[in-house]
Structures are given as C-alpha cells and as structure tokens.
Amino acid sequence: MIRLLTLLFLLFISDITHCQDNNINDTIPLTVFVQFETTKEGIVTNVKIHRIEGGPCSESELEEYKKEAIRVVSESPNFKRKKQKFILPIKFEIE
C-alpha cells in the first residue's frame, strides 16, 4: 500500500512541464536523478543532481531542467521523521 505522503509527493512532482525541440518528432525522455537527504525532523536537505540520462537538449535547456528538478525536490513537503538518503528520478518529456 502506498503511503499517503508518498502519493502526495508524487502528485507534487507530477506538474513538471515539457520542452519543445522543433527538430524532434518523437517524445524523448530526459531523466534527472536528484540526490537528497532528509533530517530526523523530515526536512529535505543537501539537494543536488546525481546524474542525467537521455534527451537531446542544449546546454542552456539542460541547466533549466537541473534547476527545475532541484526546485521541485527542495520545495517538497516534509517526509516521515527519519534521517535518510534518496535518489529520485524525475522524468521530463521532450517533444
């Protein structure tokens, strides 16, 4: 059973937008893996990019995706009160 907090977190990050690349007709996923920790109070800390896979974006577009992924995770609601480390994949659809 998915816990309510996990479901709410997934809904929170599901509003990520798409980017347009006029040279590409198919949808190509870009996955940004965000690494972060939670404190024993459940607060998200130490948010950074772990790695990136896929998606033919320009360097400036790639920086925007990195910033957006970090913003989304940084603004997430508090987690269960437990000190943990996570790597969260966030998938963008590039059309």
Indicate whether 7 pLDDT > 80: no
Q: What is the DSSP letter of 23?
A: T
Domain coordinates in residue numbering, the chain: 4-94
Rounded CA gap, 69 and 63, in Å? 10
Give the torsion sign (CA, 60, 63, 69, 72): negative
pLDDT in tens, 39-85: 999 899 999 999 998 876 788 888 988 999 999 999 988 888 888 89
Q: How far is CA 41 from CA 45, 58, 82, in A?
A: 11, 38, 6
* CATH classification code of 4-94: 3.30.2420.10
pLDDT in tens, 35-46: 999 999 989 999
